[in-house]
Each structure stands twice: as C-alpha cells, then as structure tokens.
A and B are shown apart, each in its own frame.
Chain A
Amino acid sequence: MWVFLFLALITTLVPNDTFARSIRITSNVPRNQKLLLSRDLQLLKTLSVENPDSKLLEIMHTDAVDSGKLEGWLEDRVQYVVGESFKFNEALFIAEPSYSYENLNDVPVFEKATKHTGGNSSAKVIMSNIGVSAYFKGKEQHTLSGLKIPGVDDVRMTSPRVGVVQIGEGLFYLFEKRLPKSPQDSMAKSLARLSTLFHEARHSDGHGKSLGFFHAVCPEGHHLAGYSACDRNLNGPYTVGALVQQLMTESCDTCSVEEKEVLRLNYLDSFGRVIQETSSVDWDDRPEGSR
C-alpha cells in the first residue's frame, strides 16, 4: 500500500512530457523548442478530426482516422527528434563493417534538379529526416550506419523506420513570421508544425526504389519548376503532409478565419506538388529493414 503511494508521489515530481510519448525529443533541442514541440505532440493526442479523405485512410491502411491513429502512425516512423546543433557527419559511425541489406540492387532514382541556388538566402533548418540519410549511406557502403544521439547513446540505423528527425529554429521562427497574429502557442501554429512532422515521417517509408520517398523535380510550368520539391507518386510526403494538414485545418474550431486561410494555402501548396501525370502511381510504402 505504501509502496503504491510512494510510486504515485514520485510520478507527480516528474514533468509530464517525459512520459507517455514514444517520440523522444533529445537533450540538444533548445528548451523552448522542446516545450512547444511537446505541446504539439500532446495536442495530437487530443485532436478531434472529422471526415478524413479516403486517400488518407488508404495511406494509413485503416478505415478510420482519429487522434490515436494519427499518433500511432507518426510514432511508427519517428522515434528521435534532435536539434539544429546535431552534427550529422560527426554523429555518424559504422556500427557494423559488413551488413546484409535487402533490395541491394534496387535503389531510388534521384532526379537531377536544375535549380539549386538562387538569390539571397538565409535559409534556416526547418525539419529534415536524417534517419533515412544515415540508413541510405550505410546501404551504399554495405555497412550498418549508426548515429550517436545525445542522451540516447548509439542508435543503429537498421531501418529508416528507426526514425531520426532533425528540427531547427526555422520550424518555429518561420511559423512565427507566417502566422504573426496568432499567439505563440496557438492551435494554428501547432497544426502547421505537426503537418511538417507528418511529411518528414513519410520519408521513413518505402523500400528498394521507393526507399525514403525521395522527391522529384517539379516540371516546367510549375511555379517551382526545376527544384527537387515535388513528388512523382500519389502517396508520398507531400500528399501525406497535405492530407493531414487538410484534415486538421478543416476540423479546427479555434483557428481564426485568417489562420485557416494561411493553413489552406499551405495544404494547397503541398497538393500542388504532386505531379499528376498518368505515370504517377502509389509507391510501395512497405518499410525496409526493421527497427
């Protein structure tokens, strides 16, 4: 009896965001960013969503979508969130010098972008799925890569589904600029950040040619023509991000008229990057390896 009470007392001493979520925000994420992202993930647990698009149901391999399903889908693909100060090349190591990969000769096609740099830029890191990069690097060299993650030690990248995502101040700074009238912790800003997380999570899927769901070069006539910023499939990261953003935006009762307009343009932009030609199909999203 007293042991139970003691344990109950101990749990009240520990901050809420340490428990429950399996997405671990690592220690090198600045405190304020960690707080906001933790709240975003907490919000995901309690979101009320209505009328999901049938395509989203198909992508998530389910016949109904609720906050639990969304959370579960995300947690299957993202385990660790690291900060902008995380140095990928320094953290990368060889976990095993020889490793047997599946689909060794079946590799993604990387389309050559014709636009790389433009005019003035002070681009900040928003979010990036570095787990798939680490996995792919190992696969290219037939070694098993690992990442030294602060507070977690060595993580073996046996699959992109191990799920390591890097966030930067761009995720918070740019959304502040983009929805300036909203309070910092507004629902609209959380929804915008969450949709970005879902987009990056999708990069953890695929195998062989579809590994990583790498992007395609936007075609002529598109406002982003020449950039590697489109998808040549109907179930990739831009589709996932758009569908989730659409679902959350249209279900949002606390978003203002102005916020909804911005969020709508956001998901229209994502939908607009799905190359709609007869050869665009659903890619095989079965993951490679196991985590």
Chain B
Amino acid sequence: MKKTGWIIFLSVVVIVFWRYESKKMKRLSFVPILKQIGIGSAPMKDRPETTQPSPPDRPLDESEFQNFAYRTLNLLPKKSEFKELNAEQVHEMPDLLWRAGIELGKIAKILHDQPALAHRGLAFYEACAGEAEYPTPVRALCVANYRDLSARSKVSSEDFMRTLPVDVRVLSNRIPQDSSAKR
C-alpha cells in the first residue's frame, strides 16, 4: 500500500512538472526572435538605419576587407551628432554608440576569423583611434583592439600610443589585455 502511494505520488509530480515545462516552452515559442522590432513595440521610425550588412560568411580578401573597413569608418558617429539627442536618450548608452559597437563587432569578428588580415586591421584601428571627431569610448575600444592585435602580430604599438590623448589611453586600459596577445 505504501509502495503504491509513493508510485502514485511520484507519477503525479512527474506529470505536473512535464505539463508545466511544456507550457513554458510554448510560451517561449510565441516570443519572436527579433531582427529589428522589440517586444510588442513599433520600430523607431525617426531613426534611419545606418549600419552596413554583415560581411559574407566566406573569408574576405584584402581589398574586400579594406572596403568594408572604410565603410565602417564612415559609419562611426562623430561627437557633433550627439548634440542632436534628447536628454532621455543619453541616460544610457545612446543608439549612436550601440550601432558603432555593432559595426566594430563585425570588424572584430572578421579579424578573429582571419588572422592573416591583421596588418589591415591595425591600419583600421589606427585610423579609428586617431580620429579626434569620434567619441572617446569608440577611440578607446579601437586603441584596446590595436594594442592586442599589435601584440599578437609582434608589432610595436608604443610609437602610435604616444600620439594619442591621455584620456583615450586611460579609458582603453579598462579593457583587459587579451591573454593570447600577452607577450
């Protein structure tokens, strides 16, 4: 009798747990995987898209990477663009910077997958870090990437670093050095 009671109890538990979990999965499947639109919200119509398509899944040749990098540099925001923002838009990281992060992420992925493009990558990061019109966080991220890429490529970065403003260099140190790039 005792054994029967246990079997019944455990069966009930299993059934209840299974039903709950399957309902949870159904709820999740109704939540769309987003490309552009957030949960139940309309897209922000007043903001035109200013990103470029992701690079193709195949390796890029040097010319293709250069073109991609050049377009990225043109897409990065200038300091003057932030003056047009509403106060509420700047309490957290503004969309201008988020889009910059997405574009820089594409570059980082290409260079991660294709180490042979390192010298082109260094040129890109040098251009990005050296541009006074870009906001400091963008420049600092480029500096950190330049630092790590030059270490991996066994290229000295000291001369270039000396040309950069102190605040950019100091901020770039917030990104820990890539352990694979340490000399």
Contact = CB atoms under 8 A, between A and B. Distances in A.
Interface in A161-182: 169, 172-181
B3 interface: no
A115 B32 CA distance: 37
Interface stretch (A74-82, A91-99, A137-145, A260-268): A260-268
Contacts of A172: 38-39
A173 B101 contact: no
A123 B36 contact: no
B101 A123 contact: no
A125 to B, nearest CB: 8
B97 A269 contact: yes
Given A227-B87, A265-B100, A270-B93, A184 B31 contact: yes
Chain B at the A interface: SS class? helix
B20 A12 contact: yes
B101 to A, nearest CB: 4
Contacts of B137: 265, 268-269, 271-272
B82 A224 contact: yes
Contacts of A226: 83
Q: How large is the interface on A (under 10, 10 to 19, 20 to 34, 35 or more residues)?
A: 35 or more
Interface in B38-54: 38-41, 44-47, 54
A9 B9 contact: yes
A196 B92 CA distance: 8
Nearest to A15: B20
Interface string A205-227: 00000000001000000111011
A264 to B, nearest CB: 6
B85 A178 contact: no
Interface in A257-290: 257-272, 276
B171 A32 contact: no
A265 B138 contact: yes
A122 B46 contact: yes
A224 B90 contact: yes
Contacts of A28: none
6 shortest interchain CB distances as A-B pairs: A173-B38, A258-B105, A262-B101, A223-B135, A261-B105, A121-B86
15 contacts: A31-B27, A115-B83, A118-B84, A122-B44, A124-B41, A172-B38, A172-B39, A173-B37, A175-B38, A180-B35, A224-B82, A224-B90, A264-B101, A264-B144, A268-B174
Interface of A: 5, 8-9, 12-13, 15, 30-33, 35-36, 51, 113, 115-124, 126-127, 169, 172-181, 183-185, 196, 199, 215, 222-224, 226-229, 242, 246, 250, 256-272, 276
